[in-house]
């Protein structure tokens, strides 16, 4: 659980222009949760909300600006994780957005993240990213149940962190479903008073701006479009932020291509995730002696 409910403000920007052919992203499934020595990150969001794009941008930020990230050895899907990681990073470098996830399957990446901070307090951590098709999340409406491939993770006794994604232009349609998902977590014994979760309003550039003028602007948007979700966030002290991937254009083939990659909000989410898991600021400056000799 993050120590306080605060507005997370992004900084920095990165730009790319190279365009190449599309390389399909491989998908993986898991039949059994064999590796529990990790921190699991579960993405919730309906179809087209931007979960895959957010995941790809976080991995790209970790690899290009925040440290090193690599597949964790001796896990059930080490080889598949290598393929997935390469495709996510190389495609985004070329301005290619990830494809949507397949229904009834969990995309799983077991990774090790080593921040470039030299302080002894800022240690490497194991991260297992879980992504699912937005279509599967509709299954829990009106007392429904998740597909078994998703259910096994939500019911398992593993450290879970949640990134709740809703699109800027579709958020008003997701309010009841997000609350239903939060109720589902409570039923599975995951108290919202102690869970690490953050609401991300994706595609914020559709507002006409790549950022917010103040914390109040984002809060007002969430209060207006997602009133029930907003109450849950305030009641349990959960965080909220916004996300944009950069400038996206439609080419002659009708394909979406990135012409400018913005890693501002990927940085925000990465820093929130590391701090929530470890209790340490990833930018921790270290002790006097650490600063003196580094």
What secondary structure does DSSP assign to 180-229, as a single string? HHHHHHHHTT--TTT-EEEEEEE-GGGGTSSS-SSHHHHHHHHHHH-HHH
Q: Which of 12-16, 46-50, 59-63, 180-184 has the least mean pLDDT?
A: 12-16
pLDDT > 80? residue 144? yes
User: The tokens of 272 are what?
Assistant: 């929130």
Q: Is 208 left (phi over 0), alpha (psi -120 to 50) or beta?
A: left
> pLDDT band for position 168 (50/70/90)?
very high
**26-41: average pLDDT:** 61
The pLDDT > 70 percentage for the chain reads 84
Q: Kindly report the CA angle at 91 between 170 and 31, in degrees rounded to 5?
A: 75
Architecture of domain 39-293: 3-Layer(aba) Sandwich (3.40)
Q: Which of 1-10, 90-99, 204-213 has the least mean pLDDT?
A: 1-10
Q: What is the pLDDT of residues 82-91, one digit of tens each?
A: 888 898 899 8
Q: What is the pLDDT of residues 92-118, one digit of tens each?
A: 988 888 877 778 788 889 999 999 998
Please state the separation of Cα 44 from the chain's center in Å: 9
Name, in order, each residue with C-beta under 8 angstroms of 148's C-beta and a sequence gap of 6 or more: none
pLDDT > 50? residue 208? yes
Name, in order, each residue with C-beta under 8 angstroms of 164's C-beta and a sequence gap of 6 or more: 44, 45, 178, 181, 197, 198, 199, 200, 229
**261-289: average pLDDT:** 90
pLDDT > 90? residue 268? yes
Question: What dihedral angle (degrees, nearest 10) is formed by the CA atoms of 202, 7, 69, 22?
Answer: 10
What is the residue extent of each domain of the chain?
39-293
8 Å CB contact between 261 and 245: yes
**195-214: average pLDDT:** 92
Sheet holding 67-71, edge to edge: 67-71, 106-115, 125-132, 39-44, 160-167, 196-202, 239-242
């Amino acid at each position: 659980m993050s120590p306080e409910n605060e507005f997370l403000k992004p900084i920095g920007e990165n730009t790319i222009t190279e365009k190449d052919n599309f390389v399909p992203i491989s998908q993986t499934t898991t039949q059994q949760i064999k590796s529990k020595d990790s921190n699991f990150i579960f993405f919730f969001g309906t179809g087209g909300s931007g979960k895959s794009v957010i995941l790809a941008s976080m991995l790209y930020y970790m690899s290009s600006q925040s440290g090193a990230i690599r597949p964790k050895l001796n896990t059930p899907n080490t080889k598949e994780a290598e393929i997935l990681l390469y495709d996510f990073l190389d495609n985004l470098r070329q301005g290619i957005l990830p494809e949507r996830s397949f229904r009834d399957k969990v995309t799983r990446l077991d990774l090790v993240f080593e921040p470039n901070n030299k302080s002894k307090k800022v240690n490497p951590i194991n991260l297992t990213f879980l992504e699912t098709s937005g279509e599967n999340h509709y299954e829990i409406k009106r007392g429904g149940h998740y597909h078994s491939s998703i259910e096994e993770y939500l019911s398992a006794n593993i450290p879970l962190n949640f990134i709740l994604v809703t699109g800027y232009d579709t958020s008003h349609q997701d309010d009841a479903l997000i609350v239903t998902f939060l109720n589902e977590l409570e039923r599975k014994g995951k108290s919202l008073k102690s869970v690490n979760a953050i609401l991300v309003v994706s595609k914020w550039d559709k507002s006409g701006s790549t950022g917010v003028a103040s914390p109040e602007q984002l809060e007002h948007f969430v209060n207006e479009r997602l009133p029930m979700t907003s109450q849950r966030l305030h009641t349990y002290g959960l965080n909220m932020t916004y996300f944009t991937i950069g400038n996206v254009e439609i080419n002659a083939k009708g394909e979406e291509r990135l012409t400018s990659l913005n890693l501002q909000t990927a940085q925000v989410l990465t820093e929130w995730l590391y701090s929530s898991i470890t209790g340490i600021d990833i930018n921790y400056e270290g002790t006097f002696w650490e600063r003196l000799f580094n």
